[in-house]
């Protein structure tokens, strides 16, 4: 909340409080206090806690400021996949297709659905691909494939 908004809020609360005090003075103050003291004090305590709850709620639920965005690395000029390198590593066309789908972030089930094969077939191709790229995980396989020039 900016200082201007805080000042405006304080001024507003001050004006409301001043109007309420003036209204109490215009009424028969003594009669009101003597005959309705318990209700008046209860209302004042309730109003105080309501105002305090609203202020704390607004402060605690305020959205956090977004941190400065991390700089996005600018990739070098895109390289086209190298078919000769793919053949040198012994990667078949289907395995290369699986590799491209892994790079897209698809799950085994999603790849099987897109290619029209079973999940076990996708797992078999993935296992062979990981072995040929000497990778343990899919993310490592994608990184190595990019280094080898197999993905664009």
Q: Please, what is the average pLDDT of the chain?
A: 81
Instruction: Please determine, for residue 46, whether its predicted confidence score (pLDDT) is greater than 80.
Output: yes
pLDDT tens digits for range 64-123 = 665 666 676 655 555 566 677 777 888 888 888 898 899 988 999 999 999 899 999 999
pLDDT for residue 113: 92
Distance CA 54, CA 83 (A): 65
Give the whole-angstrom CA distance, residue 101 versus residue 89. Answer: 19
The domain ranges of the chain are: 3-60, 83-148
Which CATH number, 3.30.200.20, 1.10.10.10, 1.10.10.60, 3.30.499.10, labels domain 83-148?
Answer: 1.10.10.10
Cα(38)–Cα(18) distance, integer angstroms: 22
What average pLDDT does this structure show over 33-58? 83
Considering only 24-28, 36-40, 134-138, 140-144, which range has the smallest mean pLDDT?
Answer: 24-28
Q: Is the pLDDT of residue 39 over 90?
A: no
Closest residue by Cα to residue 100 from 57, 146, 131, 69: 146
Number of C-beta neighbours around residue 130 at 10 A: 19
Angle, nearest 10°, between helix axes 93-104 and 108-115?
A: 130
By mean pLDDT, which of 8-17, 25-34, 110-119, 128-137 is the weakest?
25-34
Q: Is the pLDDT of residue 43 over 60?
A: yes
Q: Which of 66-92 are b and which e, b meaning 16 or more Cβ less than 10 Å from the residue's Cβ?
A: eeeeeeeeeeeeeeeeeeeebeebebe
């Amino acid at each position: 909340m900016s200082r201007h908004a805080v000042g405006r809020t304080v001024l507003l609360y001050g004006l409301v409080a001043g109007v309420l005090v003036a209204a109490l003075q215009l009424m028969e103050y003594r009669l009101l206090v003597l005959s309705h003291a318990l209700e008046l004090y209860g209302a004042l305590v309730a109003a105080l806690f309501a105002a305090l709850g609203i202020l704390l709620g607004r402060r605690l639920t305020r959205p956090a400021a977004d941190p400065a965005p991390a700089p996005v690395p600018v990739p070098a000029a895109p390289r086209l996949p190298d078919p000769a390198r793919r053949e040198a590593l012994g990667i078949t066309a289907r395995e290369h297709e699986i590799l491209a789908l892994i790079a897209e972030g698809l799950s085994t089930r999603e790849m099987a659905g897109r290619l029209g094969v079973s999940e076990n077939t996708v797992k078999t191709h993935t296992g062979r691909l990981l072995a040929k790229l000497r990778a343990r995980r899919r993310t490592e396989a994608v990184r190595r494939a990019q280094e080898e020039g197999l993905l664009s």
